[in-house]
């Protein structure tokens, strides 16, 4: 079985969140998108469901975390190069994201972080493919 993962995130402004991820270059799955949420395609088997807070509340009895002041999760996306990491962070910053700290260079591994418009923490990571050999 080829499993898929759908990460569900609450958003205060669905239109702004959709524009943000679209401008970063991500595509959307129209089959799972409507006025309550949109499905951001991260990879063939990984998607992020951006859900309006009202719609998100239908799936849980828990309160929604204020992701601008509390960490709910750290979301990491692999990149194909250091340049892709840097370019995505710069693009995210130009779209209103808060860039978290400085890039981390560990030789075989390179990463940088940003918080999206809702405060969700994203790490972009490039790792040399032959690092474990």
Last residue of a domain, one of 61, 76, 110: 61
Last residue of a domain, one of 37, 61, 85: 61
Distance between CA 52 and CA 15 in Å, rounded?
9
Residue count of the chain, please give it: 133
Q: pTM of the predicted model, to two decimals?
A: 0.85
Residue 4's alpha-carbon distances to 7, 11, 27, 67, 109, in angstroms, are: 10, 22, 16, 25, 26
Residue 57 shares a structural domain with residue 80: no
Residue 130 three-state SS: coil
Dig out the tokens for 86 from the structure: 């840097």
Residue 106 three-state SS: coil
Residue 72 shares a structural domain with residue 56: no
Q: What is the CATH number of the domain that holds 90?
A: 3.10.180.10
| Parent domain of 126 | 68-133
Residue 73 shares a structural domain with residue 132: yes
Residue 83 shares a structural domain with residue 24: no
* DSSP class of 45: T
Rounded to the nearest angstrom, the gap between the alpha carbon of residue 28 and the centroid of all alpha carbons in its chain is 13
Residue 32 shares a structural domain with residue 88: no
Distance between CA 119 and CA 27 in Å, rounded?
21
| Per-residue pLDDT tens digits of the chain, which is 133 residues long | 778 899 999 999 999 999 999 999 999 999 999 999 999 999 999 999 999 999 999 999 999 988 888 888 889 999 999 999 999 999 999 999 999 789 999 999 999 999 999 999 999 999 988 755 5
Q: What is the mean pLDDT of the chain?
A: 93
Distance between CA 99 and CA 92 in Å, rounded?
8
Distance between CA 39 and CA 47 in Å, rounded?
6
């Amino acid at each position: 079985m080829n499993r898929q993962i759908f990460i569900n995130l609450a958003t205060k402004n669905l239109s702004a969140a959709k524009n943000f991820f679209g401008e970063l270059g991500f595509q959307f799955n129209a089959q799972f998108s409507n006025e309550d949420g949109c499905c951001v395609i991260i990879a063939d088997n990984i998607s992020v469901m951006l859900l309006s807070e009202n719609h998100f509340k239908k799936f849980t009895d828990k309160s929604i975390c204020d992701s601008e002041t509390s960490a709910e999760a750290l979301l990491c996306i692999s990149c194909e190069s250091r340049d892709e990491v840097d370019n995505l962070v710069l693009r995210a910053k130009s779209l209103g994201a808060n860039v978290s700290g400085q890039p981390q260079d560990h030789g075989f591994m390179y990463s940088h972080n940003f918080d999206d418009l809702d405060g969700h923490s994203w790490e972009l990571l490039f790792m040399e493919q032959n690092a474990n050999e």
